[in-house]
Structure 1
Amino acid sequence: MRRFRTCRRGILVGLLLMGLASCVSAGPDGAAESHKVFVVRHAEKQAGSDPQLTALGQARAEALADLLVDQNIEAIWSSDTTRTRNTAQPLADRLGLVVMTYDPFDLDALAALLKSQRHNALVVGHSNTIAETVTALGADAGAPVGDDEFDRLYTVEITPDAAVAAIAQYGPEAGLR
Structure 2
Amino acid sequence: MRSTACTAALVLSLALGGCATRPAEPQAPLTYVIVRHAEKSTDDPRDPSLSDAGQARAERFAASLATAPVRAVYATEYRRTQQTGAPTAQAHGLTVVRYEAKQAAAEFAATLRRDHRDGTVLVVGHSNTAPAIAAALCACEVAPMPETEFDRRMLVRIDPQGQASFEQTRDR
- TM-score, normalising length: structure 2: 0.77
Instruction: Summarize the Cα distance change of 1:141–1:64 in structure 2 as closer, same or farther, 3 Å threshold.
Output: farther
Measure, in 1, the Cα distance between the counterparts of 2:58 and 2:123: 13
Measure, in 2, the Cα distance between the counterparts of 1:106 and 1:31: 33
Equivalent pair of 2:35/2:123 in contact (CA under 8 Å): yes
Runs of 4+ residues over 4 Å off in structure 1:
none
Instruction: Summarize the Cα distance change of 1:161–1:109 in structure 2 as closer, same or farther, 3 Å threshold.
Output: same
Residue aligning to 2:144: 144
Equivalent pair of 2:49/2:80 in contact (CA under 8 Å): yes
Superposition deviation, residue 38 in structure 1: 0.3
1:137 aligns to what SS in structure 2? helix
Equivalent pair of 1:141/1:165 in contact (CA under 8 Å): no
Identity rate, percent:
36
Aligned positions, number: 143
Superposition deviation, residue 34 in structure 1: 3.9
CA RMSD after TM alignment = 1.8
Superposition deviation, residue 33 in structure 1: 8.1
1:140 aligns to what SS in structure 2? coil
Instruction: Summarize the Cα distance change of 1:110–1:92 in structure 2 as closer, same or farther, 3 Å threshold.
Output: same
Task: Name the stretch that deviates more: 78-87 or 102-111.
Answer: 102-111
Residue aligning to 1:4: none
Instruction: Give the alignment of 1:121-132 within 5 angstroms.
Output: 121-132=121-132
Instruction: Give the alignment of 1:64-83 within 5 angstroms.
Output: 64-83=61-80
Equivalent pair of 1:31/1:118 in contact (CA under 8 Å): no
Whose radius of gyration is greater, 1 or 2?
A: 2
CA displacement, residues 38-91 of structure 1 (integer Å, 9 cap, x when unaligned): 000000001211001000000000011011121101100001100000000011
2:47 aligns to what SS in structure 1? coil
Residue aligning to 2:108: 110
Measure, in 2, the Cα distance between the counterparts of 1:80 and 1:31: 34
1:168 aligns to what SS in structure 2? strand
Superposition deviation, residue 158 in structure 1: 1.2
Instruction: Give the alignment of 1:28-177 within 5 angstroms.
Output: 32=27, 34-47=29-42, 48-104=45-101, 105-116=103-114, 117-119=116-118, 120-159=120-159, 160-170=161-171, 174=172
Measure, in 1, the Cα distance between the counterparts of 2:26 and 2:154: 23
- Code of the residue aligned with 1:118 in structure 2: it is R
Measure, in 1, the Cα distance between the counterparts of 2:150 and 2:28: 31
- Code of the residue aligned with 2:113 in structure 1: it is K
2:169 aligns to what SS in structure 1? strand
Q: Give structure 1 stretches of 5+ with no counterpart.
A: 1-28
Q: Give structure 2 stretches of 5+ with no counterpart.
A: 1-23
CA displacement, residues 136-172 of structure 1 (integer Å, 9 cap, x when unaligned): 10243532111100000011101234211110111xx
- TM-score, normalising length: structure 1: 0.75
2:74 aligns to what SS in structure 1? strand
